[in-house]
Each structure stands twice: as structure tokens, then as C-alpha cells.
């Protein structure tokens, strides 16, 4: 019951937020929260460190941008096309990467994402260094004009909530339980008769698709898809958001994304603008050395011990 009340409060806050806070910033926050939550599905629950999720985020950004701008698809369909293409890319990269474990998995995903990055640089449709600019926001369901930031915010909120619900559902389903079992002890899960490769691949594809959903939505918000979205720095950032918020917790990645996006926004306008990568690196090192459970994980541990 308490939990339900908590969700209700968060929802009410999310609905009221654009009255107080700049909606574009909130939309950015939501997109990255969804991106990090999708990533958490594979790292937190599957135990697989993907260092290539920027390929899905950035790839979907480009494809939905192209679908909206050049093909003139309706906004919802354009976002869907982006997310699904990220899923297909996830299937291709995932099939290769799950052939190796642990550290090699990370290196393979990183290398494949770098390859995708080079393809994006040299493909004419992405606009190279300039990116894909002037993507139209269009209308929601053919009715609501999305050029209005408030309207756009509620549209993005609906998409991201759907994404979060899907992730929460997946984690608490039998599928999610098996996935955690594989993370904790691969050999035991295998001996129980689970086809662990299929579980890992399904989780990877789901994670890639939702990361793509976040990237595609971000493109509509900013009307721009650029190389930054697909660069390996982006893959690193999403790892950091998830780690900082708390691996394998439902709320952690969103909290982590909130902290990092707010920090970046805050630093970008100050004298420390050029030091952003260094600040992120220091947070990374601190997290790994002394804060491995993340904000939400540490909080949960604290509550568990005190009550």
C-alpha cells in the first residue's frame, strides 16, 4: 500500500512539474531516465555490462529523425520505427556479444557500437558532423500540436511511463526472475534447464529497443539527432547514471539520470563547463571505489538496517 502511495506521489509530481520547471529540461531528464532504466535491465538484472548502448540510443535517434523529416511519418510512428530498428540492431550485436562472457562482452559491445558510429559518420543521411537537424515534432494522434513544450512534455511523459511500466513488469515477471538467476549463477540456471543464451538475448533486445525508444523520443524533443548520441562517451554516461543511481533497483537509474543530467546542465553554464568529462570521471571512480550500491541501493540498505 505504501509503495502504491509512493508511485502516486511521484506521478502527481511528474504531472505538476512543468508548471515549475522548464519543460525541455524535464523532457531531457525523462528521456535519459528511460535510457538508463533500459540499460539497467541488461546490466542490473542480467549482469551483462554493455558498453555499446549509445549505438541503440543514437541509431534510433537517426532513424526516427529520418523517418519524420524525410518520409514524413506521423510522430508516434516515427518514434516506433526508431525503437524497432534499435531492437533489430540489438539483435545483431547481441547475437555476437553473448557468445562471450564478462569482460569480453563489454569489449565486443563497445567495438560493435564503434563500428555503428563509423557507419553513421560516413552515411549521407545522418548529416555527418552537422547531425540531422530540423526534425519536425508534428502532432500527437493527429490532434495535439507538439510544438508547444507543455503538450510535448505530457506526450514524452506518457511514452516514458509506458517504458518504465514495461521494464518494471519484465523485471517482476518469471522472465525477470530467471534473468536474475542467470546473473547470480549462470551454471546453476543452466543446470535447471534454462536456455540461458535465449534469455540473455531477449533481455538484450528488449533493453536495446527501449534505449532506442528513449533516443527516438529525445530526437523529437530537440528536433536533432547528432553524433554525440551515438558516441562511446554516451555509452559511458548511461553506465554511470545506472551505477550512480543503483544497479538492479527499479528507481535507481532514473535517480542517477536525474543527478547526472542536472549536474551537466548546471556545469554547462558555469566556469566548469570544460571540466564536465573530468567531473564525470571522478564520480565514476568514487562510485566504483566506495559507493557500489548507488544512491538508491545505499538508501535501501540504510533503511533495511535501521528498521
Partner 1 sequence: MLTDLLGFPPQVLFGQLLLGLINGAFYAVLSLGLAVIFGLLNIVNFAHGALYMLGAFATLGLTQYLGIGYWGALIFAPLIVGAIGVGLERVLLRRLSGIDHLYGLLLTFGLALVIEGTFVKLFGASGIPYPTPEALQGGVNLGFMFLPFYRGWVVVASLAVCVATWYLFERTKIGAYLRAGTENPRLLQAFGVNVPLLTTLAYGYGVALAAFAGVLAAPITQVNPLMGSNLIIVVFAVVVIGGMGSIMGAVVTGLSMGIIEGLTKVFWPEASSTVIFVVMAIVLVLRPAGLFGKPA
Q: Which residues bind partner 1 (CB under 8 A)?
A: 49, 51, 96, 99-104, 106-108, 110-112, 114-115, 118-119, 122, 232, 236, 239, 243, 274-278, 280-285, 287-289, 292
Q: Report how far residue 216's alpha carbon sits from residue 82's, in angstroms, rounded to the nearest whole number.
A: 6
Closest distance between partner 1 and the C-beta of residue 149, in Å?
A: 32
Distance CA 95, CA 162 (A): 27
CA 92, CA 96: separation in Å to the nearest integer? 7
SS3 132: strand
Pick the closer one to partner 1 by CB: 147 or 286. 286
Crossing angle of helices 294-306 and 232-245, rounded to 10° = 10
Neighbours of 267 (CB within 10 A): 16
Q: What's the N-to-C CA distance of the chain in angstroms?
A: 18
Provide the minimum distance between the beta carbon of 152 and partner 1 in the complex, in angstroms, as a whole number. Answer: 32
Nearer residue to partner 1 within complex by CB, 124 or 174: 124
**The cell 540461458 sits on which residue?**
196
Alpha carbon distance 275, 272 (integer Å): 5
Angle at 240 between CA 199 and CA 171, to 5 degrees: 30
Name the minimum Å distance from CB 115 to partner 1.
Answer: 4
Minimum distance between the CB of residue 247 and partner 1, rounded to whole angstroms?
Answer: 10
Return the number of the residue (107 or 202) whose C-beta is nearest partner 1: 107
Q: Report which of 246, 96, 247, 100 is spatially closest to residue 186, judged by C-alpha positions.
A: 100
- Which of 109, 79, 124 shows the shortest CA–CA distance to 236? 109
Q: How far is the CB of 92 from partner 1 (least distance, A)?
A: 9
Query: Minimal distance in Å, beta carbon 271 to partner 1?
Result: 12
Q: Which is nearer to partner 1, 110 or 135 (CB)?
A: 110
**In the complex, what is the shortest distance from the CB of residue 36 to partner 1, in angstroms, rounded to a whole number?**
15
Looking at the Cβ atoms of 156 and 243, the one nearer to partner 1 is 243
* Comparison of 41 and 287: residue with beta carbon closer to partner 1: 287
Closer Cβ to partner 1, 9 or 119, answer by number: 119
Q: Position of cell 571505489?
A: 289
- Nearest Cα to Cα of residue 200 among 220, 180, 217, 215: 180
Query: Is-contact 44 252, C-beta < 8 A?
Result: yes
We find the least distance from the C-beta atom of residue 162 to partner 1, in angstroms, to be 30
For residue 147, the SS3 value is: coil
Q: Given the complex with partner 1, which of 55 and 135 has the nearer CB atom?
A: 55
Residue 266 cell numbers, joined: 548546471
- Cell 557500489 locates to 292
Amino acid at each position: 500500500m505504501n509503495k502504491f502511495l509512493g508511485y502516486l506521489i511521484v506521478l502527481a509530481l511528474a504531472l505538476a512539474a512543468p508548471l515549475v520547471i522548464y519543460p525541455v529540461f524535464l523532457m531531457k531528464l525523462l528521456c535519459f531516465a528511460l535510457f538508463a532504466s533500459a540499460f539497467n535491465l541488461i546490466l542490473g538484472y542480467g549482469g551483462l555490462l554493455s558498453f555499446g548502448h549509445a549505438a541503440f540510443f543514437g541509431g534510433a535517434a537517426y532513424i526516427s529523425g529520418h523517418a519524420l523529416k524525410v518520409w514524413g511519418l506521423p510522430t508516434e510512428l516515427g518514434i516506433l520505427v526508431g525503437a524497432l530498428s534499435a531492437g533489430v540492431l540489438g539483435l545483431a550485436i547481441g547475437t555476437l556479444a553473448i557468445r562471450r562472457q564478462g569482460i569480453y562482452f563489454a569489449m565486443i559491445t563497445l567495438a560493435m557500437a564503434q563500428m555503428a558510429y563509423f557507419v553513421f559518420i560516413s552515411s549521407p543521411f545522418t548529416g555527418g558532423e552537422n547531425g540531422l537537424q530540423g526534425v519536425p515534432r508534428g502532432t500527437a494522434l493527429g490532434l495535439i500540436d507538439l510544438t508547444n513544450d507543455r503538450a510535448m512534455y505530457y506526450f514524452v511523459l506518457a511514452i516514458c511511463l509506458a517504458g518504465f511500466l514495461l521494464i518494471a513488469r519484465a523485471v517482476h515477471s518469471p522472465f525477470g526472475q530467471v534473468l536474475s538467476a542467470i546473473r547470480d549463477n549462470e551454471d546453476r540456471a543452466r543446470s535447471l534447464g534454462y536456455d540461458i543464451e535465449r534469455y540473455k538475448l531477449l533481455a538484450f533486445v528488449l533493453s536495446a529497443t527501449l534505449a532506442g525508444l528513449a533516443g527516438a523520443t529525445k530526437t523529437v524533443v530537440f528536433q536533432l539527432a547528432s553524433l554525440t548520441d551515438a558516441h562511446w562517451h554516451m555509452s559511458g554516461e548511461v553506465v554511470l547514471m545506472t551505477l550512480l543511481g543503483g544497479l538492479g533497483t527499479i528507481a535507481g537509474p532514473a535517480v542517477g539520470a536525474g543527478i547526472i543530467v542536472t549536474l551537466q546542465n548546471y556545469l554547462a553554464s558555469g566556469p566548469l563547463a570544460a571540466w564536465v568529462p573530468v567531473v564525470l570521471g571522478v564520480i565514476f571512480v568514487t562510485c566504483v571505489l566506495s559507493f557500489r550500491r548507488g544512491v538508491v541501493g545505499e538508501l535501501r540498505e540504510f533503511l533495511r538496517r535501521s528498521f
